[in-house]
Amino acid sequence: MQKPVYVIGTFDTKGDELFYAASRVVAAGGAAITVDVSTTPSSANCDITADVVATFHPQGKSAVLGLTDRGAAVSAMAEALTQFLQSRKNIGAVLGLGGSGNTAIVTTAMRALPVGLPKIMVSTLASGNVAPFVGPSDIMMMHAVADVAGLNDITRVVVGNAAHAAAGMALNKVPRHKKSKPAVGLTMFGVTTAAITQIRTQIESENECFVFHATGTGGQCFEKLIDSDFLSSAIDLTTTEVADHLFGGVLACTDDRFGSIIRKQIPYVGSVGAVDMINFAGRDTVPSKFSGRNFYEHNAFVTLMRTTPEENTVIGKWIAERLNQMQGQLRFLLPLQGVSAIDAPGKPFYDEVADAALFSAIRQNWRSATNRKLIEIDAHINDAAFAEAVVAAFNEIRN
């Protein structure tokens, strides 16, 4: 059965443009469902009214409609739309168009949808920094050029092209390749490259390996693909983004780090790669409150700051508490001789006390269970012995 394009926007102010987009989807051979996300009263004759969408908010439609604070209303409608779209099983593609408010509403919901489901956002903001709207997802941002404020020779062409593109994607689903090997995601940083290279070499004959650079967005992409069922197991050796998240670095994860593993319960092998560092840009971008700390200038654009024993205690506790929520098969390995290439004897970040605080915090907060094992290896994270231990743990739990 043909799956329709969901044409979404604020019909109280963009009704003509949105109905035009829906008509172009149909003209291109597709089917369209119009969805109103207006936060003020709208009389538009949509397939799905704003009242219906608002009922999907956890606190009901009164938490969305009639609010006097526009910012609060936009955030509430975004949450309601997210829940609404996640409840639908017949989405062929999602097409949104509008200004800043509608872009915020629709892309929030788009980011919650699986990778691979077509998503196009025609926006007046699409020629600037679109990272906050796209995140780790596969959202296509299309610049509106002229404001979405009436149909004219420019908006008809831009909106029409977007509608035709959405219809084409909905009508021509890309078939998933039947894999002969299971897909495993691995997280890596420059200072854990040696470890991941050894591990990948040992497992790639039987697994399709996908490596993700732990740069904040990289970790989010890794987890987004797990949520989207593209990855069936994980070797999450490099959890450095947690340090940035907790202490203000620029390559931070979110509070949902490890969330996809918790939700999907896939086989998981993890470690504490590169949590000896917090990342900043150039040296002049480091907050003054950190003056006097141990810094390592990786290059002119990347400055690393060594984590302290106190910070490592917080990091270890945070990680352990997330690991304790995992119900799938889990092996977590501690490299007792160092967690990165510059955290080894004679290297700039070598600090036995700081590492000991990290390991102690994980041990103290770890909750034993039949599915979970905490494994300590008397080796550096980049040593061959550690790579072999990781591979052995992975082979023990993989499907």
CATH number at residue 368: 3.40.50.12030
Output the average pLDDT for the chain.
94
What's the whole-number mean pLDDT along residues 194-216? 95
Question: Are 113 and 226 in a shared domain?
Answer: no
The token duo for 169 is: 């994607």
pLDDT of residue 27: 97
pLDDT of residue 42: 74
The token duo for 215 is: 């740069």
Q: Taking 90 as the threshold, does the pLDDT of residue 171 lie above it?
A: yes
pLDDT of residue 148: 81
| In-domain check, residue 355 | yes
Question: Are 213 and 354 in a shared domain?
Answer: yes
Judge contact between 128 and 104, C-beta under 8 A.
no
| In-domain check, residue 176 | no
Question: Are 108 and 198 in a shared domain?
Answer: no
pLDDT of residue 238: 97
Q: Which of 171, 195, 215 is where one domain is finished?
A: 171
Question: Are 198 and 286 in a shared domain?
Answer: yes
Question: Are 204 and 278 in a shared domain?
Answer: yes
| In-domain check, residue 177 | no
Q: pLDDT band for position 245 (50/70/90)?
A: very high
Q: Is 200 helix (H, G, I), strand (E, B) or coil?
A: helix
Prediction pTM value:
0.81
Greater confidence (152 vs 264) lies with: 264
Give DSSP secondary structure letters for 346-389. Answer: TSTT--HHHHHHHHHHHHHH---BTTEEEEEESS-TTSHHHHHH
Q: pLDDT band for position 179 (50/70/90)?
A: low
The total domain count for the chain is: 2
Tell me the residue range of the domain where 318 lies.
183-397
What is the C-alpha separation between 374 and 335, in angstroms, rounded?
11
Judge contact between 28 and 55, C-beta under 8 A.
no
